[in-house]
Amino acid sequence: MNIQQTPFQELVRNRRSVRRYLDSPVEREKVLTCLEAARLAPSAENVQPWRFLVIDDPGVKQQFAAAAFSGIYSFSRFAAKAPVLIVILARPDLLANRIGKHIQDVSFYLIDVGIAGEHLALQAAELGLGTCWIGWFNSRRTRKLFNIPRQFKIVCLMALGYHEGRPAREKNRKTLAEIVWFNRLDK
C-alpha cells in the first residue's frame, strides 16, 4: 500500500510517549496552545465533555505527585519530573453519554476525551514538547486533593514538557494489511 507522506504523517510517525523530561518550565503560551487544540476536538452531539486541570506550580505538583504516584502507583512516578501535569476530566452529558451508553454500550465521553487528548499531544509534538498519557495513578487521592466534584470523571493524566535526550525509537507497528479490510471482513 502506498501512503502519501505529509507533514502530518511525519508528526504522527515521530510522536513518542516521553518519560524523561528536562527541568525547564513550559511556556504558558505553549500550554494554552495545546489546550486550544484539545478544545477544538469534535465530540458526540458537540457535548465537549472534557475539562483540564493544569498543574504547573512546582509546589502543587510535588504535593500532587506524592498523592497520585505512591504505593502501587509508583510505576508512574516518572511523571513527577514533567514540568506540567494535566488532569483530564470528563463531565458526561445525560443524553449523549448516559443514554448513548445504554443503547450503544459505548462510553462516548471516553472517545471524546481521547480525541481531545490526542489533539493536545499532537499539538505538543509540533511545538517540540513531549507528552505521555498516564492511566495508572491514584484517582481517589487526586479527587480528594483538588476537591473534584463527583459530576466529573477523572479519566487520565498527561505529562507535558521538554524531553530529555532523543525520544525513543519507533516501536514496531502492525502493517495496514494486518489491520485494514475494505468492504468485507477477511478473517
Residue range 133-177, pLDDT digits in tens: 999 999 999 999 999 999 999 999 999 999 987 666 667 889 888
pLDDT digits (tens, 9 = 90+) for 170-187: 678 898 888 888 899 877
pLDDT band at 42 (very low <50, low <70, confident <90, very high): very high
Q: CA–CA separation, 171 vs 163, rounded Å? A: 18
Indicate the domain borders of the chain.
18-164
Helix axes 139-146 and 58-68, enclosed angle (nearest 10)? 140
Q: Assign a CATH topology to domain 18-164.
A: NADH Oxidase (3.40.109)
Return the CA Rg of the chain.
18
Task: Return the SS3 of 157.
Answer: strand
For 102, the grid coordinates are: 445504554
Write the CB contacts of 165 (distance below 8 Å, at least 6 apart in sequence): 20
- Residue 150 CB partners (closer than 8 Å, separation 6+): none
